[in-house]
Amino acid sequence: MVEANSQNVVQLKVLFETLYLLTEIYHDLNCHDIPEFFVTYLQEFLGLFHKYMRYENPMLASEEEDAPGPILQLKASICEIVELYSKRYEEDFTSLPDFIQTSWTLLTTLGLESKNDTLVSKAMSFLTSVVKNGRHRDMFSSNDVLSQLCEKVVLPNMGLRESDEELFEDEPIEYIRRDLEGSDSETRRRAATELVRGLLDQYPTEVTAIISNYVQHYLQRYNANIALNWKDKDAALFLLTSIAAKSVGSQFGAREMNSLVDILDFFEKNVIPDLNAPVSGSIHPILKVDAIKYLYTFRGLFSKDQLLAALPLLTRHLESTNYAVYTYAAICIERILFMRASGTTGPMLFSSDDIAPHAESLISNLFRLIELGSTPEKLAENDYLMKCIMRIILTVREKMLPLATLCLKRLTAIVQAVSSNPSNPKFNHYVFESIGALIRFICTATPEAAEQFENLLFQPLQVILQQDIAEFSPYAFQLMSQLLSFHTRAELSERFQAMLPILVQPAVWQQQGNIPALVKLLQAYLQKGSGWILANNYLEPMLGVFQKLVSSKINDQHAFELLQTMIVYMPMSVFANYMKTVLVMLLTRLQNHKTDKFKKGFVNFSFFYMALDKEGTGPDAYWSLFDSVQSGLFVQFLKTIWLTEAQKVSGRIERKTCSVALARLLTGCKTITEGTNFDAAW
């Protein structure tokens, strides 16, 4: 049909769109395992795929520079299929050399237009999978082939294109996300980098030498005319990174290094000068970004002293007028502060003493940059800046005290501004984490600061709840519980007293996202104000909340959390009157709607009740409670549930509680130790 309609552009488009969908379905049917049918007809399928990898028809060429036409889409889909076959079904893939040659031809003939990007990246990904496979080593082992591959495939796709510059200038946040979060997985640069790293796996010495020569060539061209040839240095830095780091992750940077590349020497000679240069105007901002990114990528190779020396350089770049430059500086600072003394474990590399002298400058610059946003959406756009503020607070800890009031005022102002349109969940999360970290560290070190925090925060948090901002309500409840847990007064403040009647109303518990935070808040009320709760008759409404939670398969674990807190902080002389009713609720739920999660929660609660060293609790009290429901029920549960489930208990605290409970049962339970009717009951 394609051949019969070779001059009918309308019909050809329909046919190629259909072929594209068919190849996508083919890939899906083969991605888990190759069915027998496809093995039987594999040569036919591969013949069709190879035919359309080479197919050309000017009538179907896309007129748009950015959008791939139907032929390009089909070829990209075929590249995915042959990559899958090269990785998983190589023994059946006898025509692999033909596809390698065709892919090579495509990569050396396709232009740099954006419409070709997906196909180019897929074709390079296919070549990468072949290169990494040691069985095909001989196909690429000659220096001539490797040089051709680097020169004709890698280098043309490593360069910065006009579309990249436009993205950098017009949508810098998108440029950053593509670069750092892997959303550029189908870009030419990413695919070319992966191809270089694939070649390094098999030919480390040869590829390092070839790429290093090009790095030096680009640097020489740059130094000959710094203003005009800045793109050459950008390419040099990108190439050097691709051969120096065999793998890179956003959390820890470069992990596996190429011992043939002197990363620190290159940094001293080619990166430090760019970091030391004036923040704006001296060199192209993309080179500034490249220099910061080099430090970000290889941060694990630098000593603590070297990183501390680099911190003022990065702080300077927060004063840049270029969005991408100051954002990359914030990202690099945040990741450096996240580092640990020994890789992924051990204590944090930087202490509060290390960073406290820099905190005011860093925090003030970061807030200034965030507050440049003129609308709620723009204010919350750059979550990287807010994440950096959060990391500084988490690092400086209690030494944030001189800046705490200023930080809280600016953070609450940001919350109020973005609450009209909470558009960026990451940004919002980092804002509230920052507030929570300030409360935690300052109030732990300086308990008298708790009242000041309450005065600053209570009103903005109440506004969030009154306006029913669903995205922020869980955060508001969490912060309130945190404030209350640091409460130093003998009684609950009037603010918290006025809130409790609202918190026990069923309507507040309708939103699922609120429930974990609401439970924590009620637990804080019980911890700090059990006497007031009893005096004002709020125990039964709290038990009503418990009843609602325990009847839900989603929320029953929160019911046990609340119940345990009530038992700890309420006098058992009062609470014991409700325990039989509570136990009947639990047994009814266990009988009618048992789940593994509920059973585990009930068992853990039972061990908790028996382990608790408080008047009215313990094994004797629990035994009596069960037998008040039905004679012999305690022993029945002990034999059929608790003892069989005890070995399944997980979690350090839970296992310790289980051990204490069983030890108390054996040694401190009068029914056992005194032998009163125990043998008959057992």
pLDDT band at 58 (very low <50, low <70, confident <90, very high): confident
Contact 108, 66 (CB under 8 A): no
Residue in the block written with tokens 């208990």: 649
pLDDT in tens, 606-647: 999 999 999 999 999 999 999 999 998 999 999 999 998 998
- Mean pLDDT for 28-46 is 93
Residue in the block written with tokens 């009157």: 577
Residue 317: predicted pLDDT: 96
Residue 68: predicted pLDDT: 87
Residue in the block written with tokens 């009988």: 591
- Between CA 267 and CA 247 the distance in angstroms is 19
Whole-structure pTM value = 0.89
pLDDT in tens, 64-95: 777 888 899 999 999 999 999 999 998 888 89
Angle between helix 425-445 and 383-396 (nearest 10)? 20
Q: Which two tokens stand for residue 52?
A: 């359309």
Residue in the block written with tokens 């899958």: 84
- Mean pLDDT for 663-668 is 92
Residue 219 has pLDDT above 70, yes or no: yes
DSSP 514-555: GHHHHHHHHHHHHHHHHHHHHHTT-HHHHHHHHHHHHT-TTT
Contact 208, 261 (CB under 8 A): yes
Q: Which two tokens stand for residue 123?
A: 């074709």
Give residue limits of the domains in the chain: 1-136, 141-350, 571-681
DSSP 554-576: TTHHHHHHHHHHHHHHS-HHHHH
pLDDT band at 681 (very low <50, low <70, confident <90, very high): low
DSSP label of 631 = T
Residue 365: predicted pLDDT: 97
Q: Which two tokens stand for residue 506?
A: 């069923």
- Mean pLDDT for 262-290 is 94
Residue 283: predicted pLDDT: 93
The maximal CA–CA distance of the chain, rounded, in angstroms, is: 100
- Between CA 375 and CA 378 the distance in angstroms is 5
Residue 589: predicted pLDDT: 94
Residue 183: predicted pLDDT: 55
Residue 204 has pLDDT above 70, yes or no: yes
Residue 187: predicted pLDDT: 80
In angstroms and rounded to an integer, the radius of gyration of the C-alpha atoms of the chain is 33
Q: Which two tokens stand for residue 90?
A: 């190589």
Which of 360, 347, 433, 359 minimizes the C-alpha distance to 396?
359
CA distances in angstroms from 47 to 44, 55, 597, listed in the order given: 5, 12, 54
- Mean pLDDT for 229-235 is 95
Residue 250: predicted pLDDT: 67
Express as a percent the part of the chain with pLDDT over 70: 97
Question: Cα 488–490–494 angle (5° rounding)?
Answer: 90
- Between CA 195 and CA 192 the distance in angstroms is 5
Contact 195, 242 (CB under 8 A): no
- Using DSSP's 3-state secondary structure scheme, residue 650 falls into coil
Q: Which two tokens stand for residue 119?
A: 């196909």
Residue 458: predicted pLDDT: 92
Residue 605: predicted pLDDT: 96
pLDDT band at 343 (very low <50, low <70, confident <90, very high): low
Contact 72, 118 (CB under 8 A): yes
- Between CA 486 and CA 318 the distance in angstroms is 35
- Mean pLDDT for 198-209 is 92
- Using DSSP's 3-state secondary structure scheme, residue 226 falls into coil
pLDDT band at 490 (very low <50, low <70, confident <90, very high): confident
Residue 98: predicted pLDDT: 93
- Between CA 279 and CA 289 the distance in angstroms is 11
* Helical spans, DSSP H, in 343-424: 352-370, 376-379, 383-396, 401-418
pLDDT in tens, 418-477: 998 899 999 999 999 999 999 999 999 999 999 999 999 999 999 999 998 999 999 999
- Between CA 345 and CA 296 the distance in angstroms is 19
Contact 358, 315 (CB under 8 A): yes
Residue 112: predicted pLDDT: 83
- Between CA 140 and CA 150 the distance in angstroms is 11
Contact 117, 59 (CB under 8 A): no
pLDDT in tens, 88-135: 998 888 899 999 999 999 999 988 888 888 999 999 999 999 998 877
pLDDT band at 487 (very low <50, low <70, confident <90, very high): confident
Contact 189, 238 (CB under 8 A): yes
β partners of residue 245: 257
Work out the end-to-end distance of the chain between its first and last CA atoms, rounded to an integer number of angstroms.
83
DSSP 118-185: HHHHHHHHHHHHHHHSGGGHHHH-SHHHHHHHIIIIIHHHHSPPHHHHHHHHH-HHHHHHHHHSSTTT
pLDDT band at 677 (very low <50, low <70, confident <90, very high): low
pLDDT band at 488 (very low <50, low <70, confident <90, very high): confident
Contact 156, 148 (CB under 8 A): no
Contact 332, 311 (CB under 8 A): no
